[in-house]
Amino acid sequence: MAKILVVDDEDDIIRLIERYAKREGYEVETAGDGSEAIEACRQNDYDAIIMDVMMPDTDGFTACKKIRAFKDIPVIMLSARGTEYDKLFGFEVGVDDYVTKPFSPKELMARINVVIKRHTVNTKDNDKTKDTEGAEKASSDSEVKSEKQRYLEADGIKVDLLGHDVYVDGEKQELTAKEYAILVYLMENTGIVLTRDQILNKVWGYEYFGDDRTVDWQIKLLRSKLGNRREAIHTIRGTGYKFQP
């Protein structure tokens, strides 16, 4: 049974989410503010966190950033504010999804299902990567072969697929998991126009319920970290994006 942590300073919101989550078969624990959430995550493991932004003591963004420093748990942020700045900042600190209040409990449950499934797949992929690294060390021939497959390079941008590191003109850049996944997807399909829906489906999961503006916000953040190489990601008006050095 998957376990989720619901963090909000409004009891009505907690009870509402708890009721629907339990119907979906989730085990639910709750916290009243960001500080409680951080402490709960130090002591327990969760499959997902649903957290409000505006809370006393420690806000949701700060709590998310601190939790990310020691534990990898997908986070869905709740907020009464739906401005572009808020969403961009949320994605910057590592939020997986962003839901604006008032929200549909059924849609929220669907989003929880998606982030948990996606996180499970990513965890399995990381385990496979570790196995691959171990196998590479066993044979020099396999090392040479993997060296060719390990990196994506174009226009001053280099991606280490095994180390999950990104370098721009030789300088390492810190990307969030979503920014990294988008960059890899675009570079693996260099010269091909990818629609926003395709990017959503690939990076967030095939049942993603968010709007396609989410992709635009993430691309904006990604470009800011590519610096002088940002123009390698082209906007195809009305369609999506294309990586073209």
Give the Cβ contact number of residue 99 at 10 Å: 18
| Amino acid 238: pLDDT | 86
At 206-218, the pLDDT tens digits run: 555 555 677 888 8
Domain assignments of the chain as residue spans, ordered by start: 3-118, 139-243
| Region 3-118: CATH code | 3.40.50.2300
Position with higher pLDDT, 121 vs 234: 234
At 22-53, the pLDDT tens digits run: 999 999 999 999 999 999 999 999 999 999 99
At 93-117, the pLDDT tens digits run: 878 888 888 888 998 998 898 888 8
Q: 97 phi and psi, to 5 degrees?
A: -150, 160
Question: Is residue 138 predicted with pLDDT exceeding 50?
Answer: no
Per-residue pLDDT band for 142 (boundaries 50, 70, 90) equals very low
| Region 139-243: CATH code | 1.10.10.10
User: Chain-wide mean pLDDT for the chain?
Assistant: 84
Q: Which residue has the tokens 């294309």?
A: 242
Per-residue tokens: 27: 């085990």
Q: What percent of the chain is modeled with pLDDT above 90?
A: 48
pTM, to two decimals: 0.62
Cα dihedral 135, 137, 139, 141 sign: positive
SS3 16: helix
Per-residue tokens: 55: 């809370």
At 158-206, the pLDDT tens digits run: 999 988 899 999 999 988 888 999 999 999 999 999 998 888 888 876 5
CB of 36 within 8 A of CB of 43?
no
